[in-house]
């Protein structure tokens, strides 16, 4: 499918790019094409909305040139040197910019559809809009762990104030480009910054150089630190859903830390 032609852009040879766990990604000259053989309805438009929301918030992302149900045409950002301090500055600015209330538009984490919603109670909003959909999807694999997940979110969670989140901020969604770092593949919603911080500490996490710079700009209270394992439950449920029971031990560890 020729997305460049649909977008009214010149054609270029396609070069496969690495990454793209949930889609096929190609470079085409100054553009990046994202495709999926069977995208769920609204998948690519949701990604485009998320990129534009981050851009409007002052975060560098690839420009969206065209979006349709069948794919996405983005700006190609040539690779550049790692600059964790610049990333720390960008994320501290994002996480300091307060919003009114917790809210989410219908969207996706990976290809999993997530509901929209809004609320003033952070714990209830996060559980119902983000954790519960994955809990229901993975319940057959979880067994007795499902009740432990429910109990974990019966207690209050610390609040600093609603901010726009990237929503899936693992190392693979950071692209160090010429001119500074950019963020990719968002799953954005307005919530507590601890959700982003929790994902940034999973699966190897960001390096110490990032955390030194980030915490110098925006220190992390102990109450928020203690809650990170609770937020990681959300992402580990997603990994159980996508990749299977191999992630159950990590989920058990996060549950144990969350309720301790």
| DSSP labels, 189-202 | EEE-THHHHHHHTS
Query: At which residue do the structure tokens 């040879």 appear?
Result: 13
| DSSP labels, 2-43 | -HHHHTT------EE-S--TTSEEEEETTEEEEE-SSPPTTH
Number of Cβ within 10 Å of residue 216's Cβ equals 11
Q: Distance from CA of residue 221 to its chain's centroid?
A: 22
The sign of the dihedral angle between the CA atoms of 20, 236, 136, 189 is negative
| Residue 125 host element (H or E) | helix 122-126
Number of Cβ within 10 Å of residue 219's Cβ equals 8
User: Is 83 one of the catalytic residues?
Assistant: no
Beta bridge partners of 107: 114
- Give the HSE-up count for residue 151: Cα atoms under 13 Å, Cβ half-sphere: 11
Interatomic CA distance for residues 31 and 148, integer angstroms: 45
Least Cα distance to 47 among 28, 30, 22 occurs for 22
Say if residues 221 and 158 touch (Cβ distance below 8 Å).
yes
Task: Determine which one of 21, 83, 121, 168 is catalytic.
Answer: 168
Q: Residue 73 in 3-state DSSP? A: strand
Catalytic residues: 168
């Amino acid at each position: 499918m020729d997305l460049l032609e649909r977008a009214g852009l010149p054609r270029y040879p396609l070069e496969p790019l690495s990454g793209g766990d949930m889609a096929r990604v190609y470079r085409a000259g100054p553009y990046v094409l994202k495709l999926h053989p069977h995208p769920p309805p609204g998948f690519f438009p949701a990604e485009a909305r998320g990129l534009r929301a981050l851009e409007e918030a002052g975060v560098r992302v690839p420009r969206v040139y065209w979006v349709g149900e069948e794919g996405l045409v983005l700006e190609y950002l040539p690779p550049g040197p790692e600059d964790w301090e610049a990333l720390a500055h960008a994320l501290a600015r994002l996480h300091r910019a307060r919003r009114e209330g917790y809210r989410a538009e219908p969207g996706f984490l990976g290809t999993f559809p997530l509901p929209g919603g809004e609320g003033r109670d952070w714990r209830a909003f996060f559980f119902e809009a983000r954790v519960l959909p994955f809990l229901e999807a993975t319940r057959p694999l979880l067994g007795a762990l499902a009740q432990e997940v429910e109990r974990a979110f019966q207690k209050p969670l610390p609040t600093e104030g609603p901010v726009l989140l990237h929503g899936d901020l693992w190392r693979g969604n950071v692209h160090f480009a010429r001119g500074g770092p950019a963020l990719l593949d968002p799953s954005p919603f307005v919530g507590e910054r601890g959700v982003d911080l929790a994902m940034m500490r999973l699966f190897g996490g960001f390096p110490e150089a990032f955390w030194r710079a980030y915490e110098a700009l925006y220190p992390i209270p102990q109450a928020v630190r203690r809650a990170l394992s609770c937020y990681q439950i959300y992402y580990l449920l997603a990994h159980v859903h996508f990749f299977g029971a191999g992630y159950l031990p990590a989920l058990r560890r996060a549950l144990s830390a969350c309720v301790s």
